[in-house]
Amino acid sequence: MFDRDRWQEIISAIKKNKLRSALTAFGVFWGIFMLVVMIGSGNGLKNGVYEGVKDFATNSAFVWTQNTTVPYKGFKRGRDWNFTNRDMKLIRDQVAGIDLIAPRLSGWKLNNGENVVRGKKAASFSVNGDYPSYRKIDPCDMIYGRYINQEDIIRKRKVCIIGERVYDVMFEKDEDPVGKYLRVNGVYFKVIGVFRSKNPKINIGSDKKESIYLPFTTMQHTFNYGDRVHYFAMTVKPGYNVEKVLDKVVTVLKKHHTIAPDDEEAVGNFNLEKEVKTIQYVFLGIDILIWIVGIGTLIAGAVGVSNIMLVIVKERTKEIGIQRAIGASPWKIISQIIAESVFLTSIAGFVGLALGTMVLKLVSTAIEQNAGQSEEEMFFINPEIGVQIAVSAFLILIITGIIAGLIPARKAIKIKPIEALRHE
């Protein structure tokens, strides 16, 4: 396989038919180029989706109230109802597997018009009431100050943390907002921190960058929510199935609030673990489709190489006959044909691999330089293929080259020397 004269002969044969060799190699080049670009694009999309949710607790679920759709025990359908503070203890006592549970308030009635004022600045932002435990479900970084703590909850302190967009609008650039006051719906709250979400693509109820978070108890007391809870966020312990725990939570809440067991709409819920698995299955399907299309294109290129090699064998019938006549073994003839096929496919494939990688790098650089967007806000990040995929693609090329040369090689050794010498 590594005989110097043989390789000189292979290169000489390719040079004699440059156009034919180039057109043959193009099929393989295009196949590997498309395979690399498609795999890289699929990875870029996957990275973009996962980047915005990677730190969110995937073993989490959410429940909220909706109007009833089934009459039950004297209550008509269409009844409006709410969770209460007692439901938190009820869930903990009656549902095994609950790890964290965080009640939340969404200030829909507080979000009308320019509800946030500071000096001469006024704007409209979402207002929510939170528990400290919610940060463990949906983590964030503190740009300034601190997060809401348990003392804020117990003492019902009039403090707040704000999202990045709120800070940009209500404060000067590089101004430290900690200790300053915002008037939210006529009530003054001291800013204790500015947060940046680690999961910008998951927004429950409102855009986190444009949100103000108050201590849950403070919001209940200040804005007359009583003991109302709009929804619960929760996580389950390791070893427990989120869907089963969520079903149990819904059952307990329905029973406590006199909701028909068969009312499927009264308790809205969201299972993040289930959604993440769905996304994983979608990307698995995309990966399988990419490989099927890519390998199919490579096979088409290999067929082209095989057909050309058949033509080459026919053109060199007399030469092969002479080699057989002077004692060349069948393996020597086979290895020569296969070597030429592998050489042609490898060179074409390597160029396709290199060019495909370069295109992905250029796209990645262009995306990174896209003004006005941070990496977390993009839906297409780092479209790469990785060393393992590159090596796998190159091995596929070699196998393709061997297969492409095998059929012509088998035909070559069937040529009888006496018939080959008579061939014109």
Domain ranges across the chain: 4-54+277-422, 98-236
**Angle, in degrees to the nearest 10, between helices 330-368 and 386-413:** 150
| Mean pLDDT of the chain, nearest integer | 82
What digits encode the pLDDT tens for the residues 10-59? 666 666 666 666 776 777 788 788 888 888 888 888 887 777 677 888 89
DSSP state of 72: B
Split at pLDDT 50, 70, 90, the class of 218 is: very high
Give mean pLDDT, residues 309-321: 63
First to last CA, the chain: 29
Q: How far apart are CA 353 and CA 390, in angstroms?
A: 7
CA-CA distance, 404 to 338, in Å (whole number)?
Answer: 8
Beta bridge partners of 64: 231, 268
Q: What percent of the chain has pLDDT over 70?
A: 78
What SS3 class is residue 185?
coil
Query: pLDDT per residue over 137-152, tens digit each?
Result: 999 999 999 999 999 9
* Of residues 16, 33, 10, 15, the one with CA closest to residue 352: 33
**Closest by CA position to 384, among listed 81, 71, 40, 55:** 40
8 A C-beta contact, residue 108 and residue 211: no
For residue 257, the model assigns a pLDDT of 93
Between CA 118 and CA 20 the distance in angstroms is 75
Q: Which pLDDT score, from 0 to 100, does residue 151 have?
A: 95
196: part of which helix (H) or strand (E)? strand 187-197
364-394 pLDDT tens trace: 777 777 644 554 555 667 777 777 777 777 7
pTM of the model: 0.71
Q: How far apart are CA 353 and CA 350, in angstroms?
A: 5
Q: Is 4 helix (H, G, I), strand (E, B) or coil?
A: helix
Enumerate the H helices of 183-241 as residue ranges. Answer: 216-222
Question: What is the model's pLDDT at position 1?
Answer: 47
**pLDDT (average), residues 250-258:** 94
User: pLDDT confidence of 9, banded at 50, 70, 90?
Assistant: low
